[in-house]
Chains A and B, each alone.
Chain A
Amino acid sequence: MNFDDTPQEAAFRATARAWIAANAPKQYEDELRKSSLGRTQLRNADILDVAKAWQKKKADAGWACLHWPKDYGGRGASPIERVIWQQEEGVFGKLSAMFIIGHGMCGPTMMAFAREEHKRKFLPPLASGEKIWCQLFSEPAGGSDVAGLRTRAEKDGDDWVINGQKIWTSGAHYSDYGILLTRTDPNVPKHKGLTMFFLDMKSPGVEVRPIRQANGNSDFNEVYFTNVRIPDHQRLGEVNDGWNVSLTTLMNERMSIGAGVATGFPELFDYCASLMLDEGPAIEDRSVRSKLANYAVRASGLKYTSMRAISALSRGERPGPENSIGKLVAGSMIQEVAMYALDLQGAAGVVSGPEDAEVAGRFQAMLLRAPGTRVEGGTDEIMRNIIAERVLGLPGDIRVDKDVPFNKIPTKGRT
């Protein structure tokens, strides 16, 4: 048992480290380090511009999408090399946030289902960050129940005509392309009538409306489709086989390892180390220490669970199912951490403006953003279902709509 790199891994790490030291945008390092959930922004620059510039620089030197084939803009690196890169990239990895969906979900789906000429055309600018992609799955009628979506695609000559509405689309407002899941046959059960496409987000009839979230920010959007035409050659997978295509996408969503999930614990520990309570330093207080210890072992448990997965990658094996706990644990923890940090502030905890609030309001911003982390990318409840069914082997839910034609499924609860 050890944490040592193999000689090859060590050599790769040294090369990555040297390149990052020479090329990373260090003028933003401090601000990025201090940013946390709910507040990742730069004072004197648009983070989108900085992120795109960093991504392009990485791509030009062969450090973008490391695990992708070289032909598609990647490096053809091994999974463990990708992890080592992420470890070395450190806080600059926060600049990758707007590329995660494109690189982690859209790219792999394109690689698996797009025509070769499309892969060669679209994947390299996706890898280099010159083009940003979004994923258009969720709808008002289908969040956790994605297969309940209602956006229609109807064949018209060589094109498909799209009408409907998507929601919770991260980054649609700055995206150039998207992958889109539609209903092509409402007369069969819901999983059997779906088809996947990719499209230019500038296509006529696409309208993006930012959603104002509960925390006041707008990371997500509604996207409306009115007679949007998509050529058939932009279809991904067979007609009515979109559910299987989407499983590839979603599997990739949950495969990311090593990037380190945010728990809020390091921020809380730092805060408590300097905070004075009425009775003395917070860190000397028995009840504070008890809380901190409980958060500490959850954070370290996640860290070393991820180390176990990385070890499997290092041996060239597939990681076990234990990594599936990450999002579930971190999502609820960061919310608890934020609430506790405010509790320590007393009435002053209500003040959230960066100029007046404790530690520039980072815990207030965290609190207001946290409910979203427990919902996006699979709710806590869906994550528990996944663990129960795929890891523990418990029966799937009884699906009352499974064999019912989609257009016969009830759409209203109380009438």
Chain B
Amino acid sequence: MNFDFSDDQKQLRDQARKFLSEKCSPKAVRVVLDGKVPYDKELWKGLAEMGFLGVAIPEEFGGAGAGHLELCVIAEEMGRANAPVPFSSTVYLAAETLLIAGSDAQKTKWLPAIASGEAIGTLALFEGTGNPSPKNIKLAASNGLLNGVKKPVPDGAIADFAILAARTGSSGRDNDISLFLVDLKAGGVEARSLTNLDPTRVQAELTFKNCKAEPLGAAGEGWSILTQVLDRAAVLTAFEQVGGADRALEMGRDYALDRIAFGRPIGSFQAIKHMLADMYVAATLARSNSYYGAWALSTNASELPEAAAAARISATQAFQHCAKNNIQVHGGMGFTWEFDCHMYYRRANALALGLGSLSYWEDQLIDRMRKKNAA
């Protein structure tokens, strides 16, 4: 049994960590946090040069042709560094959808552009409040024209193209939904930036008015494709969350070692030690669940739906737990803009919602466990 990443994959993780510690310091993240730019263009270019954007994209489409395990270790480092770039929308959502359902022409056009950093992509799924569900998709497609509003769309205002779910039928079944690909630079779409919890990952509202779109995947297959995409993205995001949780835990531990109160390091008080121990427990459970997700993703195992939901829940809980208690360990300083704690708190809570909320995934997990038990 080798339920672990290989030495090469661990080396890639170290390489990514080193690169990000140089190019993505908290100071660099703050340039985006303060709203001066919507994302870190230099970093994005650097990630492309390192081959990180196309790590799971096959070589024939301009990628490194490595695999999802390699993408998982990079995702972990992106989370640890709180990277302010459209990585998750472009790589986990847009590229994965193209890989699953894109035509050769679509893959040839967009995947090399993603790998080289020239194109930012996203998935426009949500339309206001609510979780992923066919019945929450109102945006209509007819005769290749889209009309409706998507919000929030991650990186919607900076993306070059969007994949979106649209209603093409009214039977009340899953096959009412089809996917489309829209070149956002071609007109017919209005993007409005939305102020959001985590300014280092921007969000937008996209309004489509008689917007031209090309189908992606077979008509009526939209929901089935999306389900697969969301499972993959859940695993990859879980690694970002695991990376973020670990970093928040480290920040708390380091502060507890350095901060003196009542004549001793606060890390010598059991109230603080036990809080940090519980953070370690949550982070460890999340990491192990995420490894299982990574295994299922990389082998395309039938266990993926269940493993993805478990990774999603566990990693969401762990990052939220570690980020909030990191602030608590820091006391008042943790609640200042100056300290970095709030950046992880913001990211933790934004990631907890992006693919559908915790309660949605809890429901999914039990559904999937029942299906497996029945099978």
Contact = CB atoms under 8 A, between A and B. Distances in A.
A304 B289 contact: yes
A1 B313 contact: no
Contacts of A298: 285
Interface string B290-320: 0110110011000000000110011001000
Given A296-B366, A398-B264, A304 B281 contact: no
B6 interface: yes
Contacts of A9: 1
Interface stretch (B124-132, B331-339, B348-356, B357-365): B357-365
B288 interface: yes
A1 B4 CA distance: 5
A279 B166 CA distance: 35
Q: Interface centre among B273, B291, B310, by most A CB within 10 Å?
A: B273
Contacts of B289: 297, 300-301, 304
B267 interface: yes
Contacts of B257: 393-395
B3 A1 contact: yes
Interface of B is mostly: helix
A311 interface: yes
Interface in B253-282: 253, 256-257, 264-265, 267-268, 270, 272-274, 276-278, 280-281
B253 A311 contact: no
B171 interface: no
Interface string A311-352: 110110000001001001100000000000000000000000
A415 interface: no
Interface stretch (A106-114, A135-143, A283-291): A283-291
Given A305-B285, A398-B264, A388 B274 contact: yes
Contact of A329 (B256, B267, B281, B313): B281
Nearest to B370: A283
A33 interface: no
Interface string A231-254: 000000000000000000000000
Contact of A397 (B270, B366, B370): B270
Contacts of B267: 388, 394-395
Given A273-B373, A297-B310, A314-B2, A392 B280 contact: yes
A398 B268 contact: yes
A254 to B, nearest CB: 15
Given A300-B310, A311-B1, A392 B285 contact: no
A200 interface: no
B268 A293 contact: no
B288 A2 contact: no
Interface of A is mostly: helix
Nearest to B265: A395
Interface in A378-399: 381, 383-385, 387-389, 391-398
B268 A286 contact: no
B194 interface: no
Given A1-B298, A283-B370, A384-B273, A307 B253 contact: no
B226 interface: no
B16 interface: no
B286 interface: yes
Q: Interface centre among A283, A310, A315, A388, by most B CB within 10 Å?
A: A388
B288 A301 contact: yes
A305 B284 contact: yes
B369 interface: yes
A310 B286 CA distance: 18
A3 B297 CA distance: 14
B363 A293 contact: yes
Contacts of B291: 1, 304, 308
A392 B276 contact: yes
Given A2-B3, A392-B276, 14 more contacts: A296-B310, A297-B314, A300-B288, A300-B310, A300-B314, A307-B288, A308-B3, A311-B2, A314-B1, A315-B2, A322-B288, A384-B277, A385-B277, A392-B280
Interface of B: 1-6, 69, 249, 253, 256-257, 264-265, 267-268, 270, 272-274, 276-278, 280-281, 284-289, 291-292, 294-295, 298-299, 309-310, 313-314, 317, 359, 361-363, 365-366, 369-370, 373
29 contacts: A1-B6, A1-B294, A2-B295, A269-B369, A290-B363, A293-B361, A293-B363, A293-B365, A293-B366, A294-B362, A296-B366, A297-B289, A297-B310, A297-B314, A302-B288, A304-B291, A308-B3, A311-B2, A325-B285, A383-B277, A384-B270, A384-B273, A384-B278, A389-B273, A392-B277, A393-B253, A394-B265, A394-B267, A395-B265
Query: When A and B form their complex, which 8 residue pairs have the shortest distance between CB atoms, in order from nearest?
Result: A301-B285, A293-B362, A388-B273, A304-B288, A384-B277, A387-B277, A395-B268, A305-B288
Interface of A: 1-5, 9, 80, 269, 273, 283, 286, 289-290, 292-294, 296-298, 300-305, 307-308, 310-312, 314-315, 322, 325, 328-329, 381, 383-385, 387-389, 391-398
